Amino acid sequence: MKTNNYSAGILQYIPFFYVIWSDDLLSYSEISVVKNAIEQDDTVTKEDYKYLTQCLDKKNPPSNNELKHWKNTIDNSNVKLVENDTYPLSTFSQKMICHHFAACPFNTHLKEIEINLGIQPNHYNHLFEIEIDKEITSNFYDSNEIDTILKGAQTKVIDEFRKDLKNPIFNWQTRRTKEAFRTHVLKQIAFLAEKGYGAMAFPEVYGGTENMPGYAAIFENMMFVDGSMAVKFGVQFGLFGGSIQKLGTKKHHDLYLSATGKANLLGSFAMTETGHGSNVRGIKTTATYDEKTDSIVIHTPGKNDNKEYIGNALDSTMASVFAQLIVKGKNQGVHAILVPIRDKNHQLMAGVTIEDNGYKLGLNGVDNGKIWFHQVRVPRENLLNKYGDITPEGNYHSAIENPSKRFFTMLGTLVGGRICVARAGLGGAKKALAIAVKHALKRRQFNDSIKIQEDLLMDYPSHQLRLTPAVASCFVYDVTLTHIMKTYSDPNLVDKRKIETQVAGLKSIITWFANDTIQECREACGGKGYLLENQIADLKGDVDIFTTFEGDNHVLLQLAAKGVLSDFKSEFNSAGFTAVLKLLGARISDKLNTINPAYTNNVDKDHLYNPKFHKHAFNFRTRRLTYTVAMRIRDYVKKGIPAYQAFLKVQTHLLALGKAYSIELAYTIFDDFTATISDDKNKALFKKLGVLYALHHLRKDATWYLEQGYINGTKSKAIRQRVERLSTELRPHIGVLVDGFGIPEHCLEAPIAN
């Protein structure tokens, strides 16, 4: 065969011949298509025709040397192959001719081959050493700058942590048995403890830096590795260690905090019970003070009063047990007591029974278990006594005399755990979105039957609408949780009731968002998203529990709503109901302003994109729901219905209020943050993300706004169109935005993300 320089007629077919012969599967039907095109091609001379048809002989295929010569000819052409050209290979061939010859018209016969054989760049781009110009995302924004904005004051901590995650111990792999999985996770926890991350939130004297915001930030980053590791870490250092730090006093700190931070003392957080779940105040486990022996007796009184879903139950040697503290026959309410549950040989202590919860939907690297106590005796000093103590004389004493206030104060110190759960859920959503977006930026499907190249999934408006608002929401929730944790960690904030209300609502909407987003990402990746190797399946199983972990979301939303109703000034229960109504008197008697028709009908872009409109709309919804739920409760009480029953009747109304309040809170925090960004380009980007978040939620709740007359049908339609438009406008930057999450490359090992 000919191996010297080619004529123009031959050269234009060389890329096609190389592609169709490279797989050694050239069929007779393919030969027929190519041969028919050559026969009709008037640019081909007789000599060209002879060579080209000879190359189509299956009985005498091109030699390896000929294939190499074709490849060298292609590689040395200095021509780029552009994936998004209408006919990439035909256009590439034309450019090769232009490189060597003066005349280079587009050959429609080559186009027919490309169409009829369905040859696409993903079939052959691995065959060429030439540069392939994909042009799938813009570099107008810098992902490192975006990541730095999100990291904020914790940049150094997060960067160091991400470097440590490069250790091989964090490499992802499928572990099919819970025993092997748990063993590996425990090793990861020991590694992190050795690096000082376990004690991060503790005082310096106990090995920490008192950096709770930094702790929350790395907690989210742990989800980029594995949910089981994150939760095990949270149980050991956040819940067990946090209970000692927040509920104990110096004697407990001196004895246990350093060992806990180093993971030398493994502990569990025994609060939840099978029979009571979210009703912490109603737990049945008892802690009865025995004056004769100056000890506290821990006991599980009934079959369903055992501690349930306790993380670290199989590995720990001590538990923070929440129980009803009974002193001299009087129940002083729920308190936490440190109870050794295993000896130095890791054998269960007398009176302690523990069962493995077994396999779960996710988080199978966490050793959840059930715990029963049968007359287990511990020293009086094991009572975590910051808010309630038993004196050496055997008397109960607390600086907070009101039992209800004391209970909520104790629980309020543990609100940081809910913030971390929300951050973990957000981390799972970020990783799922990064995988789904990266997949959509390379996966092609369908075309318009004119161009040969199929379209990228990310170029479909429907795909943009599925993923882009979720990406925007991640930015809003990231900024919100950073702000909330900073506020919560402020030592000058004595009264934490307001932050409790805020966290209760935010934890709910963010963990629900995370689950919805991960499911959407799974579907957006088709069958590939269902494969374990692509990690979205693990994220689905791991993040699912966050909607009920650290408080059931429905219960927490009601807590948030009750906080709104009471204006954070009184505990919301039947006894405080009159005070609540008195507090709301001004709101109840104050009729909401009638919305101006011009406002209701306004579809102007500047208006729809204006944060003042978004804040007004969100605030209107919160105020209106507050007003109407309070009126309903008042009317029920006037009819003689007990306050508790009145609240049951408006339960769904309370849930709507809690959600509305939380969405308004998140948007307001994000908008305020955006104003502080110094760089105009990034500020504009964050503003656009905020607009998309706001309009997306107004679109989701459009039915309510229409019912209230706040917007009309035309404005509702305009909002929907703007959400679609913004999702499309952000399409060129979507790859940079998910890279802006800062997920290390070594944590994105899903094949479809690479």
The β-bridge partners of 700 are none
CB 553 within 8 A of CB 508: yes
* Number of C-beta neighbours around residue 635 at 10 A: 12
Binning pLDDT at 50, 70 and 90, where does residue 594 land?
low
pTM of the model: 0.86
Binning pLDDT at 50, 70 and 90, where does residue 567 land?
low
> What's the CATH fold of domain 268-405?
Butyryl-CoA Dehydrogenase, subunit A; domain 2 (2.40.110)
CATH superfamily of 416-748: Butyryl-CoA Dehydrogenase, subunit A, domain 3 (1.20.140.10)
Place of tokens 């590795």: 225
pLDDT for residue 627: 85
CB 120 within 8 A of CB 153: no
CB 574 within 8 A of CB 467: no
Binning pLDDT at 50, 70 and 90, where does residue 130 land?
low
Pure H helices in 639-733: 643-649, 651-674, 680-700, 702-707, 713-729
> What is the average per-residue pLDDT within 693-708?
97
pLDDT for residue 99: 85
* Number of C-beta neighbours around residue 239 at 10 A: 25
pLDDT for residue 101: 87
pLDDT for residue 278: 74
Within this chain, domains 268-405 and 416-748 share the same CATH topology: no
Length of the chain: 754
pLDDT in tens, 291-322: 999 999 999 999 899 999 999 999 999 999 99
> What is the average per-residue pLDDT within 46-65?
90
Given a cut of 90, whether residue 279 has pLDDT beyond it is: no
Pure H helices in 23-107: 28-40, 46-54, 64-75, 88-100
Comparing CA positions, the residue from 105, 117, 119 lying closest to residue 34 is: 117
CATH superfamily of 145-261: Acyl-CoA dehydrogenase/oxidase, N-terminal domain (1.10.540.10)
CB 472 within 8 A of CB 695: no
> Phi, psi at residue 502, to the nearest 5°?
-60, -45
Is residue 393 among the annotated active site residues? no
pLDDT for residue 449: 62
Binning pLDDT at 50, 70 and 90, where does residue 1 land?
very low
Instruction: Kindly state the percentage of the chain with pLDDT values over 90.
Output: 72
The β-bridge partners of 465 are none
Residue type, 638: K
pLDDT for residue 24: 64
Given a cut of 60, whether residue 578 has pLDDT beyond it is: no
Q: What b/e string do you get for 556-571 counting C-beta neighbours within 10 Å, with b at 16 or more? A: bbbbbbbbbbbebebb
Which stretches of 532-678 are assigned E, i.e. beta strand?
A: none
Alpha-carbon distance 540 to 526, whole Å? 15
What is the H or E stretch that residue 124 is in? helix 121-124
Domain assignments of the chain as residue spans, ordered by start: 8-133, 145-261, 268-405, 416-748
* Alpha carbon distances (Å) from 300 to 263, 355, 660: 28, 14, 40
Answer with the residue of higher pLDDT: 85 or 328: 328
> What is the average per-residue pLDDT within 53-68?
89
Instruction: From the candidates 112, 520, 550, 724, give the one annotated as an active-site residue.
Output: 550
Binning pLDDT at 50, 70 and 90, where does residue 138 land?
confident
* Alpha carbon distances (Å) from 435 to 363, 735, 753: 20, 10, 5
Which stretches of 219-281 are assigned E, i.e. beta strand?
A: 267-270
pLDDT in tens, 29-41: 888 999 999 999 9
Given a cut of 60, whether residue 731 has pLDDT beyond it is: yes
Alpha-carbon distance 20 to 112, whole Å? 14
pLDDT for residue 571: 34
Q: Looking at 181-185, 404-408, 554-558, 726-730, which range is the least confident one?
A: 404-408
pLDDT for residue 454: 76
